[in-house]
Structure 1
Amino acid sequence: MEIKVKLTFGDVFRYNLYVGYKSIFSKVIVLIGLAVLGYIVYKFSVADGPILDVISRNIIAIIVMFLALCSKFIKIWKITAMQATSPIFQKTSTYKFAPDSIYLELDDQSDTISWTIYQQIKETNNDFRFFVDAVQAQIVPKHDMTTEQIENLRKFIEQAVPKEKYILKG
């Protein structure tokens, strides 16, 4: 089965968000940010003076909330923007799935990859992610695939990879 893939900014951004917020530390920081946001909303709701007074009394909490909720998101956005200039995002990749391997072709480069190299294969609502390690993965977006190709790819994965190494939606 052959699939031609052109990654979009959204494909890469979704993946980078997944990687960026995967750790427990990142999740704790987001929870702290949400708790501080709740505190700030409460302070604004019970305030009886001018809004600038409420802001000035809670400026540290507002800064902490902004850093906790927005700084990593902005950093991931910048990383994705830099990645979007690389050739892999400018050109179309071709994947040829076979029972024993995957043939990958990008521009004038090609490689045959054994299914055994993947530590995990994960299907999301938008793509298939073939993880080589905890952070690096090949992304095969579903927007470039027909329903039949998605079903066939699931069958290839189920046949080629042990059940504990994949998570599929269908």
Structure 2
Amino acid sequence: MTDDTLMTPREPQLIALNVNGEQHEVITEARRTLVDVLRHELRLTGTHVGCEHGICGACTVLVDERPVRACLMFAAQAEGARIRTVESLADGNRLSDLQRAFSEHHALQCGFCTPGFLMLAEGFLAERPEATKEEIREVVAANMCRCTGYQTIVEAIDACATARRRACARACPSKED
């Protein structure tokens, strides 16, 4: 391999992405990040770009239902996975239960970090519906918020988790029956 080979950029490639339940084909360079493709190619601007180093969490999306920093993942790496962005939470103009909880508990101010917190919480609650406030507090510490502090965010996620558990208890038959 020559030095020229190492310096030659790869040709753009066609990748197929499943984003928010819809299939998309995108031509992109191999080293283009998922957040850039989501925002610039698919026009899903709810996923924010903050630090571009994976520290702030503003770009958090769900990849196969697990929270991922989209600024640290190449778009090509997401091929074949199910990607969910903050746009997937609402049903038209009807906010999701988690979005409503954020609003009701004043868990947002400027709103820049909010999509990342929502997606982090959505993925976490899917894995840990019985999470305690302490566990929620530990998880949200992974993302940065400069306006609200974290207490109202923790309260909103806890309220949503509690409501989901109650709804499940009402809808799910008892194990003792």
Q: With structure 2 as the length reference, what TM-score do the two structures score?
A: 0.23
Structure label with greater radius of gyration: 1
Q: With structure 1 as the length reference, what TM-score do the two structures score?
A: 0.24
More strand by share: 1
More helix by share: 1
